[in-house]
Every structure is written in structure tokens, then in C-alpha cells.
Chain A
Amino acid sequence: MPRRRYRDVNLQFMRTACLTKVLVLSIALAGLVSTAVYADTSREYRLKAAYLLNFARFVYWPTESFLSETDTFKICVYGESRFGENLNHLLSKKVQGRSIRIIYKDDLRNISECHILFVSESDKASYYKVASEVPRNVLTVSDVEGFSSEGGMIEFIRVDNKIKFEINVTQSIKSGIKFRSQLLEVAEKLR
């Protein structure tokens, strides 16, 4: 359904001259931005870091996901991190009133403590393993291509030089993750 609406929206965009101009401008701007993004992976990962926070905010976290009322919200990064310092910006933010903690993981042990598990692109070999081994109530996100189709939940993709994401709703439901509808509306693709 979101796909069809997306197409309708596109059609309407095409119809209106004004918005066409905007689109042209946007494309031009996007071109400039994407050039910069590609030029600077740091920027890309800053955006992805912000997205991670937003994902956290658009998921209904059950109380059993936390050990206590004061338990932190844990974002884990598995594999080689390309976020650099960008994730540290999240430390000042809060999810459901809880402070955020960034945990870097080299293996998949103790990953059940994570709320979001980001699987880095560098460790392409292990994402299948992740997909099969990740316990319930852990949201898995990756920018590895084909992640969502292979058992991952959210996969960053690039559309028109913009960072978008796909969501594997079936997998998410299986893992006990419930997204807010708004998130599904802005997702590029739903599986």
C-alpha cells in the first residue's frame, strides 16, 4: 500500500508545475548534498545515527525490554563502526525518558541486552548469522544490502542519493518488534 501511494504522490508531483520546480531544485540540491555525503561518510553516518534514534522513537518498546525503570536504552554496533563520533551525539538524547548507551560489540554474545543492534556493512559475512541468532525484542538495523530480505528488520537504502530505509514487517512481528504507523508511512519499502 505505501508503495502505491508513493507512486500516486509522484504522479501528482509531476502534474504540478510548481512542485516540479521544487523537485528540480531539490534534485539539484540533493545532487550537491549526495556529492557531499559520498564525499563525507561521516555526514552519512551522522544522518544514520539520527535515524537510529528516530527508529528507537517510533517503536513500541515493551517494559520487559528493560531491566529496570532506570535501565538505559542500548544501541549496539556490531562489527566495524563507521559512525565515528556521530553516535556520541545521541548520548545527550533520550528514548522513552531513558538515557542512551552505545555499546560496540565484536561478537554476538550478550546481544539480548541491546535494544537496537546495528550490523555494520563491513561485517557482511556475519549478518546472516545475526539474522538467525538475534533474540526477541531486539531491533536489527543494517546498511548491508539485502539485509531486510535476509531476515533483518530495517535496511538503509539509497534512493535518488537520499538515505531511505526498508522494513521487514514480518520479521519484526516475529521478533516482537512493533512499529508506529508513522514509521511505516515514511519507509521506502515494506516487506
Chain B
Amino acid sequence: MPLIQKSSIKNKLLIVYMSITAIVLASAFIISVSFEVSSSKKNIISGLNIVGEIVADRGAASLAFSDIESANINLRTLRSHDSIVYACIRSAENEAFAEYNADEDKTYQCDEYNDKNRTSISEKYVDIYKPVLLEGQSIGMVQIKSSLEGLNGQIIESIKLSLVIFMGLMIVASFVSGRVVNRIIEPITKLKEIAQKVTDGNNYSFRMEKTSSDEVGVLVESFNKMLDQILERDRALSEEKDKAELSAMSAKKYAEETESINIDLENEIRERTKVEEELQELNETLEDKVQERTIELKELNEKIGGIARSAGMAEVASGVLHNVGNVLNSVNVSVSVIREQIRKTKSTNLSRLVDMLNSNKDNIAIFIEKDEKGKQIPKFLSLLSEQLEDEKINLFCELDQLSKNVDHIKNVISMQQSYAGSYGVREKVKISDLVEDALKINLQGIAQHGIEIVREYENVPMLYIDKHKALQVVINLISNAKYALIDSGKERKKIIVLIKMTNSNISVEIKDTGIGIAPEDIPHLFEYGFKKRKGGHGYGLHHSALVANELGGRLSVRSEGLSEGASFIMVVPIDKQEDE
């Protein structure tokens, strides 16, 4: 068994093939030889039976007529059968009647008479016994003895021949199975060689060609796949190795850096320790210093209080100036108009006429009557008088306007003064009244530029609020809306004022259809000094937002973009009122 295990698959297969072939062939031969032996025996016996029948039939007359010669002749015909060694005829009276012996050197016994048809087989001979019948009665017996030597020889010959054929077939079988096994084993051998090459040379690039789709084919496929995987892993490993080397290097670098940082840290620690020591020292003197500083701070606080008051006043002043400034713009316009009117007045023509009359004062009547120019004077005067009358009317109108504006300023200032008195004081205010006051303050500009005011007031509760501050915000918002409308150049100018109650807040929205605000400007709109409008001081909205915060509310803006108009909304809480 170990020998078989050591031997190659090819040899194993060959052994199996040859063993099977040998077993099959040997079985076939054994079966065929034994069949031949048995059929030969049968043939011999049946042949002997026929011969016996003939001899018995022919011997009947011989026996009947006691013709020994005839009987002997009859028996001698058996010479033609090589295997028949002996024959005899015995009468029914058990007398030996005739006998035949092929080999006279040998003697055989003619057996006792028996009228039965029988066969007796021994190792070397077959004996058949045939009754000699006459009229259905046995009158004697024929015995024929046949040697089996021929048969045995034949069997031996046949076995010899079989052996020769067997050997021949085995040679053919070994040749054929050698080829077949080679064909089967070839891919496995190749696979083995490639596997050896791979392991010897550590070269995984070898691949084997798949030639069949049987188990070997599957094996080859798996082998190739395995090699692919090994290659893939190799590559991944080498990449990992490179990475590891790189990280080792960087780790080394980091270590070096860390070391230098450590040194730096140590230095820093040393310095810190030093500083701490100094701090310790300072701490000791700190209490004294704190006391000193507290005194200083008290003084400073008092100073700051003064500054705050000044700042508040400045803020108020600025608000007043702003409001008045709005009206003064109208005043300026009126003054400009008047100045232009006076500059263009026709009175200069009158002085020229006076000069002309002065130069002709001696003969003025003749001049007016005769001179071409003089003739024109009454017509000229009439026209001049008309023009001057017009100018006078215009100037009156403008002056009236101016006077209105000045009155307005007066009103503003007086209103301002009424509000100023209440600065920092919260009062019960009806928000719509406050909005109307603001509109009044801006009335000049609004009317002048043909701006339409739309009021959408909801019925809202009274507010407890610093009305001065709230008014400032609303005036500022209306003023801004007005400028936005003027700058837009649109024909139809409209300001919508909405008073609404949302949740527990009251919102005042001033909405215009003016120039709008660019989206990128919206975040900066409430920053101090941010100005978009020419002539603006960048203070208004910032101040308004601050004031709205002070009122506990907030100021917000909405705009869809440039030339889309804008909405400024002041929201103030009403819950303050309940607190009061």
C-alpha cells in the first residue's frame, strides 16, 4: 500500500487499468475455457451416443444371427474415431460377443450386460452403454469407451492459446491505457510543472491554459484564480510595506520634531515657572493695586455717566436735526426757485427803457410819437407790466410755500420740543396717532413729490412706550421711503403704512414702491455709516434700529431686490403694557 501511495497518479491509474483489464480478460478466458471444456465433453458424449446408436443398430442382426465377424467389422468402423479406445458387444445372455481395442498394448474390460442406456464418466474416459434392440427387446449391449486425453490436451492447448492471447491483449491494453492515461494525466502533469515553476521561482505570473471543462478544467481555473489572488495580495502587501515604511519615516520625523518641541516646551516651562514666580510676587502687591483701581474705577464711572448723558443728548440733537433737515430741503428748494425767478426777472429790460427815456427826456413826446423805438415803448411797457405781474404772482406763490415750510419747521421744532420733554419717559400712546404725527413731519416732501399715502390701520391696543423714541424711528422710516420713491423716478409713487397686531406684538410697516435694496446690501443696512443714498449720513437706520431695540422691539427690512420697493417693519411688544 505505501508503495502505491508513493507512486505517481499515472502509475496508479495504469495499475488500476491493467488490474481491471487482467481481471476481465482472465475471467473471460476462464469462463470460455470452462465453457469449452464442458461443451467439448457434451459434444464428445453426444457424438459417442450417436456412434453407439449406429453400432447398436447395426449390431442387432449380428447378435440375432450370432454373426461375430459381422459384429467385429461393425466395431472396427470405430477406428475412424481417434478418441474411441475400446468397444464391445455383449449379448443379453451376458456373453462377450465382439470386441474392439484401438491400442492392443492396453486391455480393457467389457462391462456386464445392462439393458439401460447410460453414460459413465471417469477422469480419463467416458463410457457409453447402448442396448441392442430387436423388435423393441434388448438382445445385447454395446459399450464404447472414449479417452478424454485428447480433450485434456485440447484444453491445455486452448489454455496455452488463451494465455498467449491474454498476454497479447495485455500488451495492447497496456499500450492503449498508457495513451489514455497520458491523455488524462497530461493537464495534471502540466499543472504540477507550473506549480513547481511557481514555487521554485516565486513567480506568480505563470498561467495554465484551460483545455477541458471537466474537474481538471475547474482545477486549472481555480489554480489560475489562486495565482491571481496571490499576485493581488503580493501587490497589496508591497503597497502596505511601502506605506509602512513611509509612516515609519514620518514617525521618525515626528519623533525628531517632538523631541525639538519637547526641548522648546521645557524651555517654555522654565520660562513659565519664572513668570509664575514673578506672578507670585505680583499677587502679593495685587490687593493694594485693587484698592487703587477700585477708586480709579469709581471716578471713571462718574465720568462715563456724564459722557452717556452727553451722548444721549447728541443722539436727540441728531434726531432733531435730521427731522428739521428733511423740511429744510423743501425750504432750500423754495429759496432756489425764488432766487432763479429773481435772477431771470424782466426788470433789467425796464432799466434799459429808463435809460432810453433819459436820453430823450427833452423831446420825449416827439420820441414816443416819431421815433421807431419810441413808438414801441407803450407796447413794451404793457407787456412788461404783464410779465412783472406774473413774476409777482409766482414769487408770492413760492414765498407762500416757503412760509408754509418755515411754519412746518416751527411745528416740527415745537413737536420735537413736546416729544423732547418726554425723552426717556414711557407714556400711553395710540400708535396710529404717532404714525400720523410722523407723516405730518414729513408732509412737505410727500406732498411736493406727489407721493400717495395708503393707510391700512388695524384696531390695535394702546401702547406704553417712549413716544419720542418711537416717533424718531417712524419719521426716519417714512423719510427713507420718500427718498426711495424720489430716487426711483417712477411716475406713481406710493407709501403704504400698515399697523398690525401679530401675536403679542404691534408692527408698523412702512412699505414703498421705490428703488428697492440689493440683496447683498440687506445684511449691512443697519450698520453704522452704511449709506446708499447720496446726501444720506449713514446714521438714520442704525439709530432707528438701536432705538427699536431700546423700545424692546426690533426693526427689520424686506425687499425683493433693486427697483422692487422695500418694507421696513418696526415691531414693538405690547406685553410691556400689561407689566405696567
Contacts and interface: CB of A to CB of B under 8 A. Distances in A.
A22 to B, nearest CB: 9
Contacts of B68: 26
B61 A180 contact: yes
Contact of B61 (A10, A94, A95, A183): A183
B76 interface: yes
B158 interface: no
Contacts of A26: 68
B342 interface: no
B58 A185 contact: yes
B61 A58 contact: yes
Nearest to B73: A9
User: Which of A12, A26, A58, A182 has the most chain B CB atoms inside 10 A of its CB?
Assistant: A182
A94 B137 CA distance: 11
B407 interface: no
B62 to A, nearest CB: 6
B65 A186 contact: yes
Residue among A57, A165, A186 with max Cβ neighbours from chain B (10 Å): A186
A134 to B, nearest CB: 23
Contacts of A16: 104
Contact of B67 (A13, A19, A186): A186
Contacts of A95: 135
B134 interface: yes
B64 A6 contact: no
A5 interface: yes
A132 interface: no
A185 B64 contact: no
B69 A9 contact: yes
B138 interface: no
A143 to B, nearest CB: 15
B286 to A, nearest CB: 169
Given A16-B104, A95-B135, A57 B72 contact: no
B437 interface: no
Contacts of A10: 69
Contact of A18 (B58, B76, B104): B104
B563 interface: no
Contacts of B60: 182
Contacts of A12: 76
B61 A9 contact: no
Nearest to B135: A57
Contact of A57 (B62, B64, B70): B64
Nearest to B68: A26
B108 to A, nearest CB: 13
Interface string A1-27: 000011001101100101100000010
B57 interface: yes
A109 B58 CA distance: 38
Contact of B65 (A5, A13, A19, A54): A54
Interface in B57-91: 57-58, 60-62, 64-65, 67-70, 72-74, 76
A163 to B, nearest CB: 9
Contacts of B65: 51, 54, 165, 186
A68 interface: no
Contacts of B67: 186
A96 interface: yes
Contacts of B74: 185
A54 B64 contact: yes
Given A16-B104, A51-B65, A185 B70 contact: yes
Contacts of B69: 6, 9-10, 13
Contacts of B57: 182
Nearest to B58: A182
Interface string A147-187: 00000000000000000010000000000000010110110
Given A9-B72, A186-B67, A96 B135 contact: yes
Contacts of B134: 54, 57
Contacts of A5: 73
A26 B69 CA distance: 11
A185 B360 CA distance: 220
A57 B61 CA distance: 9
Nearest to B59: A182
Nearest to B71: A186
A186 B74 CA distance: 10
Contacts of B72: 9, 13, 19
A186 B62 CA distance: 6
Nearest to A94: B135
Nearest to A8: B73
A43 B547 CA distance: 189
Contacts of A18: 104
Nearest to B101: A18
A181 to B, nearest CB: 8
A58 B70 contact: no
A46 to B, nearest CB: 13
Which of the listed residues A9, A12, A13, A96 has the most CB atoms from chain B within 10 Å of its own CB?
A9
A122 to B, nearest CB: 24
A180 B68 CA distance: 18
Contacts of B73: 5, 9
A58 B104 contact: no
A10 B76 CA distance: 12
A6 B73 CA distance: 8
A97 B97 CA distance: 27
Interface string A47-61: 000010010011000
A182 B104 contact: no
Interface string B548-563: 0000000000000000
A16 B99 CA distance: 13
A186 B69 CA distance: 8
The 10 closest A-B pairs by CB, nearest first: A182-B61, A186-B67, A54-B64, A186-B61, A186-B70, A186-B65, A9-B73, A57-B135, A183-B61, A182-B60
Interface of B: 57-58, 60-62, 64-65, 67-70, 72-74, 76, 104, 134-135
Given A9-B73, A16-B104, 12 more contacts: A6-B69, A9-B72, A10-B69, A19-B72, A26-B68, A95-B135, A96-B135, A165-B65, A183-B61, A185-B70, A186-B62, A186-B70
12 contacts: A5-B73, A54-B64, A54-B134, A57-B135, A94-B135, A96-B135, A182-B57, A185-B58, A185-B62, A185-B74, A186-B62, A186-B64
